[in-house]
Amino acid sequence: MDFESILEEVGDFGKYQKSLLFKFMVPTTLASAFYVLNVIFMVASPDHWCYVPELSSLNFTEDEVRKISIPKLPDGTFSKCTMYAHNYTALAAEYKATGKFPEFRPSGKIIPRRPVQKCNHGWVYQKDWYEETIVSQWDLVCDKNYLPSLVLTLANAGSVLGTFLFSAVADKQGRKTAFLANIVVAVVSGVLSILSPTFAVFAILRTVTGSTVPANFQLPYIITVEQVGSRQRSFLVCISWLLWTLGACCLAMVAYISRHWTTLGLLTTLPFGAFLAYKSYLKQSPRFLMTQARCEEAADVIEKIAKINGCKIPSELLPKLKKISENVKSNDVSATNESMLDLFKYPQLRKKLFVVTLNWTAIAVAYFGLTLNVTNLGKNDFLNFFLLSAVELPAFPLALLMMEKVGRRWSNTVFVLFTGVACLVPSFLTKDMGTSAIAASMMGKFGSAAAFMVTYQQAAELYPTSVRAFGMGIGSVVSSLAVICMPYVCYLSVYNKAIPFLMIGALCVSAGLTAPLVPETLNRRLPQTVQDSEEFGTGNGCLPCCSSSDQIKDEEEVVDSTNI
C-alpha cells in the first residue's frame, strides 16, 4: 500500500482535482507570466538623441532637429549620445532673423566633419512605442546604458536566492504557506518598486521581486500535482507550460496598450493580491503533511477529497497513512548513506552529470537569453515578444510526442542542436541582423522550449533514486547562475546584434553534440542505486535498434520527474 493507491481510491483526478486545476492553477499560472516577464518592457530603451533646448522653441519636426544637430553614424543612423558642438543660441537667433542656418548647403545637407560633443542637456525619447520606461525616466542611456541590464541581472540573482528560501518554507511550513508568503512579498516589493523615487531603490526592490519568481510559477503546479494521480502528471506539465505561454502572449498585448512602465507594472502586479483569497480555498498537501508525520491532518484532507469526488473513504485510513509515513522516513534514512560526492566519484554517473548539466544550462541560456533579447531586435517590441511566445505553443505537445516515440536522448539532441543552428546560421549569412534576427529568435525559442521539457524528464530518469535530487539540484543551480549573466550578453548587441546569437548558438551546439553520450531511458528499467547507474546503458549503442531487450522496463517502474 502506498499513497498513490489511496489517492486512486478517493479519486486521483475527480471533481476536487479538476476544481483545483481550473480555479487555482490556471489563473495563478497565467498571472505568473505577467508578473515575471513585465520587467522586460519596463527596462526597454526607446530610440533617443541629444536634447537641444534652443531648437525646441523653433517650429521644427523631430527629424529636422536631428538633421541640424545630430551627427550620423557609419551605418546611417543618428547618434544617440553626441551632438554637433555649436552655439545653438546664436544659430537660433540667426534663423529667426534670416530664416536659415549657415550650416545648411543649398541642397539642404549638413556640412560633414563638424565638431561634436556629448549631450549636455539630456535626451529626447521617441514615443512611437513607449510613453515612458525606467530608461527614459532616469536617463539610463549612453554612459549609463548598462544599468537596465543590471536590473535584470539582480532580478536573476534574486531568483537563485529565492529558490532556496521559498523551497525551505515549502518543505518546512507547507506549500500553502509558501504560496501565500510568496504572494505577499511579490505584491509588496512589486508595487514599491514601481513607486521608487530613485533608480537605486528600484534596482534593490526588483532584486527582492526577483526572489519570488521561481516559486511564483512552481508552487501552483506543485500544489496541484501533489494531489493528482501519476497518470495525469505529464499532462499537467504540458498544461502548466501552455498556460505560461498564453500568459506571455497576453502580456505583449497589455504592454502594447499601457505603453507606460508604471501602468504596466501596476496592471500586472496588483491583481496578484487577489490570490490571498486562496487562503480559505487551499488545503495543505496531504503528501506534505505525511512527510511531517501529521497523518491525522492528512487523513482529514483525504476524507474531504473523497467526499467532493463522491468516492468512499478508504477503510483504516489513518493506520495506512501512518505506515506509509514510517516507510518514507526509513527510506530517507537509508538514502543518507549515499551522498552528492557519488555523482563525481563514479565515471558513468559523472558523465551523466556533465552532459545533463551542460544541456540544461544551454537551453536555459537560450530560452531566457532570447526572451531578454527581444527588445534588441528592433521594429515592434510588442509584436516580437508575442511571436516569440506564441511559437512555444506547438513546442510542448511536439516534445511530449517525440519523447514517447523517439525517446528522450534523441529528442533532446535534435531540439538542442536545432536551437543552436537556428541562432548560428543567420549570424554568419547576413550582415544586417534585422528580419533574420527575429526568425532566428523564433526558431531558437521553439527549440529551447521543447528541449526544456525533454531534459527535465531525462534528468529525472538518468540519476539513481539516492542522488536524484542532488543531480537535478546541481543542474538547476548551474543553469540559474548562467542565466544571471544573460542580461549582459544581450547588452553586447549594442556593439553587434549577432553577438548574443553567436554565444547562445555556440553553447547549444556544443551541448547538443554531447547529448547522445547518455543512455536512452524510454521503456528501460531505471537505476535505483549508484551501482545500477554505473551499469545502466553501458552495453547499448546510440541507436534504438542496438538496445538489448533485457532493458525493457515495466510501466510502473517509470520515474516521473514531477514526483521527485
Place of cell 552495453: 539
Query: Would you say 442 and 321 are in contact if contact means Cβ atoms under 8 Å apart?
Result: no
**C-alpha cell belonging to residue 180:** 501565500
Q: How far is residue 548's CA from residue 364's CA, in Å, rounded to a whole number?
A: 33
DSSP letter (8 states) at residue 129: S
Q: How far is residue 122's CA from residue 141's CA, in Å, rounded to a whole number?
A: 10
Torsion of CA 198, 202, 204, 209, to 10 degrees: 160
Using CA of residue 337, residue 341, residue 343, residue 344, what is the dihedral sign?
negative
What is the DSSP annotation of 52-77? -HHHHTSS--HHHHHHHH-PBPTTSP
**160, amino acid identity:** V
Round the CA-based radius of gyration of the chain to a whole number and report it.
28
Block mean pLDDT (10 aa), the chain, length 564: 81 91 94 93 93 85 87 87 88 79 49 78 92 95 92 90 86 89 95 95 95 88 85 81 92 95 95 93 86 86 91 87 76 54 80 92 93 84 92 90 89 95 82 77 93 84 73 82 90 86 94 92 74 71 48 43 41
Closest by alpha carbon to 503, among 365, 301, 393? 365
Cβ burial 396-426 (10 Å sphere, 16+ → b, else e): beebbebbeebbbbbbbbbbbbbbbbbbbbb
DSSP letter (8 states) at residue 121: S
Q: How far is residue 254's CA from residue 353's CA, in Å, rounded to a whole number?
A: 41
The pLDDT tens digits of the residues spanning 469-524 come to 677 778 888 888 899 989 989 888 888 888 899 999 999 999 999 999 998 888 77
Place of cell 543552428: 421
Specify the fold of 1-35+142-337: Growth Hormone; Chain: A; (1.20.1250)
**C-alpha cell belonging to residue 354:** 556533465
Q: How far is residue 302's CA from residue 313's CA, in Å, rounded to a whole number?
A: 8
**C-alpha cell belonging to residue 162:** 529565492
Cα→Cα distances 452→362, 446, 490, Å: 10, 10, 21
3 state SS of 146: coil
Q: How far is residue 72's CA from residue 486's CA, in Å, rounded to a whole number?
A: 30
| Cross-strand pairs, 118 | 82
Closest by alpha carbon to 440, among 508, 494, 486? 508
**C-alpha cell belonging to residue 418:** 536545432
Q: How far is residue 508's CA from residue 514's CA, in Å, rounded to a whole number?
A: 10
pLDDT at 232: 81
Tally the C-alpha atoms within 13 A of residue 122's C-alpha that lie toward its C-beta.
10
The pLDDT tens digits of the residues spanning 314-373 come to 888 888 888 877 776 665 555 555 556 777 788 888 898 899 999 999 999 999 999 988
**C-alpha cell belonging to residue 137:** 525616466
Q: How far is residue 481's CA from residue 473's CA, in Å, rounded to a whole number?
A: 12
pLDDT at 332: 54
Q: So where are the chain's domains? A: 1-35+142-337, 48-104+111-125, 338-537
Q: How far is residue 15's CA from residue 35's CA, in Å, rounded to a whole number?
A: 29
Using CA of residue 503, residue 509, residue 510, residue 511, what is the dihedral sign?
positive
Using CA of residue 106, residue 107, residue 108, residue 113, what is the dihedral sign?
negative
Fold identical between 1-35+142-337 and 338-537? yes
pLDDT at 4: 79
- Containing 151, the helix (H) or strand (E) segment is helix 147-173
Q: How far is residue 109's CA from residue 456's CA, in Å, rounded to a whole number?
A: 59
N-terminal to C-terminal alpha carbon distance within the chain = 19
Torsion of CA 408, 410, 412, 414, to 10 degrees: -150
Specify the fold of 338-537: Growth Hormone; Chain: A; (1.20.1250)
